[in-house]
Structure 1
């Protein structure tokens, strides 16, 4: 549909996307079993959203020490790997594409990790990437956003190291990228990176003063260096979370990194139908990811295509509730036609 660039196909690394509407990673905390396994609920949830051009899974733990929250599934045991095959198999059977977001949310700070521990940390990502491939995922996304370890290394206020992991705060991320690309090792671009350079303490009230990050120019310049370095890696895409959309998405924020990164760019944070189409039409991003809109609109692509209103979810059920608030959101249906007289 020429009037909606979001609905145009696109080649993202090794993947041919039928549209540019990406499902952003959404932690929903439904893995309530002791093994942190994805269940039939997860399979149904992702299958319902298979019309997305690309699904980025919820963040999955890369190791046992990466775990920081309850009921989030992992990808560090054989049992978890096998369970994820049910999810990826259904998504693919319905014509979808899904990548696993690899996540480490452990409490270790940059100053507490030895060089050997950082090397082990990098290896955990590589091992999880190899598991993701065996689990049937189409690729992986490295989560280097928010208040978590890879992002902490990029935060000069938190990373006061004086060795090679201090002044060059991007080195751990680049080491992870290189290790994960090597672990996939099939000659195709199957690895993406998620960054949030504009994240501040106001984005996560739980962080408070423990995460003294405000996106000033000094902070952003470190991300400039990292994005430039990522541009030279064999990545499928860069997934960028923009600033808080106070009056709509900030196109200039994405344009900044568009100039620095020469691969496909996925933009995220606060987009709707018109703003998403406008960003792609302008060439500022190649695709747009949606988070909260995908919670209550499993058929989001259809609703965007037809211009229908979007349903609103219940925030009280975002992180708990079992099937309720997770797989019970109805798809849009047209009003019944009047009966012939």
Structure 2
């Protein structure tokens, strides 16, 4: 019996021969100062161009959107030029690549903002940590996030404009499309949930109001670059980082109905992948599919067997793999041939140079 994971699919403006997507993964290796993508990043992504689609690491749309050390941006001319190195390298290897657009909201630290507090829909305290390099020692560590300050209406509109501008920058840099990061407790997600959004204006309270920011982003980005080059990532079952909202599942389902009407390129559903995480139920998968007929990508500790199951049932069209791509640049070939999957070195995930980043060998070279 053939494996659904290794059948052809149309994604990223081309026909791919399999359905293995490279998930976005923060690796914190941009050039400093300026958070500029570089030739090393281009090597890293081009080595993994055999993916049906690459989604880049989360990329801040503005200085205010930054929440981790050494993560890249896509708002300055230098950053656009740096990303162009990446897209040209990936395209030269026959790959397709979307930029993931990011504003971290409250998942940040005052050190990134000249001493100012991070921003959020509401000034709600929460438990969250971000990776930050101590300038005195050069060492990175996980540090607590402070209670943020609430955005005013004009600032919200400015952020919508930042996303639209970043989407245009991404296309100018050669990307095949953009994915709005609406998951994992970052700014878009913070607007969706009653636990992080206690606003009383048009951006808070009712489900319709909590969805307003997401809808404005999608409409503005699609107007700028086309709905067929606009996608979004969502995390329905996330409970960490103070995000355990009792109304999130119906809110996500309403979002999916809106995204179907907009005919976006795809919806990317990230599943909780930590120990004793809430289960991504089959009933919810059915509800999503009933509302969204377009392309669905799923991610979250998948192996070939689970990937084939979710594809066979029609709950998804492609499956994204994250950590396995770190040490296995030729992951689709390894999965297709049942070859061993190499382990990565956790100490080299964030920051550093080529070691633990571009020096993992394809199976043929490793043999």
Q: Provide the TM-score with structure 1 as the length reference.
A: 0.90
Going from structure 1 to structure 2, the CA distance change for 1:242 and 1:259 (only over 3 Å counts) comes to farther
Matched, 1:175 2:213: no
**8 A Cα contact 1:25 1:101, kept in partner:** yes
Matched, 1:262 2:293: yes
Question: RMSD in angstroms over aligned alpha carbons?
Answer: 1.9
Residue 64 of structure 1 aligns with which residue?
63
Q: Pick from 236, 242, 253: which aligns with 2:265?
A: 236
Residue 116 of structure 1 aligns with which residue?
154
Matched, 1:97 2:96: yes
Per-residue displacement from partner, 1:107-135 (whole Å, max 9, x unpaired)? 31213111111110100000000000000
Shift of 1:221: 1.4
Residue 323 of structure 2 aligns with which residue?
292
**8 A Cα contact 1:296 1:313, kept in partner:** yes
Higher alpha-carbon deviation: 257-266 or 85-94: 257-266
Residue 3 of structure 1 aligns with which residue?
2
Shift of 1:254: 3.0
Instruction: State the alpha-carbon separation in 2 of the partners of residues 197 and 59 from structure 1.
Output: 19
How many residue pairs align between the two structures?
Answer: 323
Going from structure 1 to structure 2, the CA distance change for 1:81 and 1:97 (only over 3 Å counts) comes to same
**8 A Cα contact 2:263 2:294, kept in partner:** no
Going from structure 1 to structure 2, the CA distance change for 1:334 and 1:35 (only over 3 Å counts) comes to closer
Matched, 1:184 2:225: yes
Instruction: State the alpha-carbon separation in 2 of the partners of residues 215 and 126 from structure 1.
Output: 28
Instruction: State the alpha-carbon separation in 2 of the partners of residues 101 and 326 from structure 1.
Output: 19
**8 A Cα contact 1:197 1:215, kept in partner:** no
Residue 158 of structure 1 aligns with which residue?
196
Residue 81 of structure 2 aligns with which residue?
82
- Structure 1 residues 173-212: aligned runs within 5 Å: 173-185=214-226, 189-201=228-240, 207=241, 211=242
Shift of 1:164: 1.4
Higher alpha-carbon deviation: 274-283 or 123-132: 274-283
- Structure 1 residues 49-60: aligned runs within 5 Å: 49-60=48-59
Unpaired segments ≥5 residues, structure 1: 202-206, 337-341
Going from structure 1 to structure 2, the CA distance change for 1:142 and 1:116 (only over 3 Å counts) comes to same
Q: Pick from 244, 257, 261: which aligns with 1:214?
A: 244
Higher alpha-carbon deviation: 17-26 or 116-125: 17-26
Shift of 1:259: 2.0
Instruction: State the alpha-carbon separation in 2 of the partners of residues 239 and 88 from structure 1.
Output: 21
Shift of 1:18: 2.8
Instruction: State the alpha-carbon separation in 2 of the partners of residues 83 and 291 from structure 1.
Output: 23
Shift of 1:9: 1.5
Per-residue displacement from partner, 1:240-271 (whole Å, max 9, x unpaired)? 01233769984614333222222110011010
Residue 143 of structure 1 aligns with which residue?
181
**8 A Cα contact 1:58 1:101, kept in partner:** yes
Instruction: State the alpha-carbon separation in 1 of the partners of residues 366 and 27 from structure 2.
Output: 31
Per-residue displacement from partner, 1:160-210 (whole Å, max 9, x unpaired)? 11221112211101100000011114xx60111000011111xxxxx4xxx
Q: Provide the TM-score with structure 2 as the length reference.
A: 0.84
Residue 29 of structure 1 aligns with which residue?
28
Instruction: State the alpha-carbon separation in 2 of the partners of residues 183 and 198 from structure 1.
Output: 30
Q: Pick from 323, 339, 351: which aligns with 1:308?
A: 339
Shift of 1:321: 2.7
Residue 41 of structure 2 aligns with which residue?
42
Q: Segments of 4+ in structure 1 off by > 6 A?
A: none
Higher alpha-carbon deviation: 125-134 or 25-34: 25-34
Unpaired segments ≥5 residues, structure 2: 106-117, 123-149
Is the partner of 1:141 in helix, strand or coil?
strand
Instruction: State the alpha-carbon separation in 2 of the partners of residues 136 and 227 from structure 1.
Output: 28
Residue 223 of structure 1 aligns with which residue?
252
Shift of 1:219: 2.5
Instruction: State the alpha-carbon separation in 1 of the partners of residues 214 and 87 from structure 2.
Output: 26
Going from structure 1 to structure 2, the CA distance change for 1:303 and 1:13 (only over 3 Å counts) comes to closer
